[in-house]
Amino acid sequence: MPDGSKWAIPVHVIAMNRAVYYAKNDGKTIEDSLNNDTVPLFECDDFEIEDWAANNMNWSDVEHLAICISKGETDYEEGWCNGDKEIIEIPAA
């Protein structure tokens, strides 16, 4: 995530999303798509899980099931040194 936090998402949620998509497009049952296509693909290559999630799902699809396993940190020193700055005038009190 942009703040450096790490989140756990159940793989079965990603797998079911893919299986539903291909079942609709290929005229298969969701169970057939899941068991004979998605599960073997995901078991063979972890990259396929990440690729499907990143390119075919939105955060809103998984947010309700996501578990934060590591909170992110904001690097204020980096922001101070390299962040965008703007000079503004504050009216006198």
Give pLDDT, residue 79: 82
| Distances in whole angstroms, Cα of residue 65 to Cα of each of 52, 53, 62, 77 | 17, 14, 5, 33
How many other CB atoms are there within 10 angstroms of residue 9's CB atom?
17
Sign of the CA dihedral with 81 first, then 83, 89, and 93 last: negative
**pTM across the whole model:** 0.75
Q: What is the pLDDT of residues 18-61, one digit of tens each?
A: 999 999 999 999 999 999 999 999 999 999 999 999 999 999 99
Q: To the nearest whole percent, how much of the chain has pLDDT over 90?
A: 70
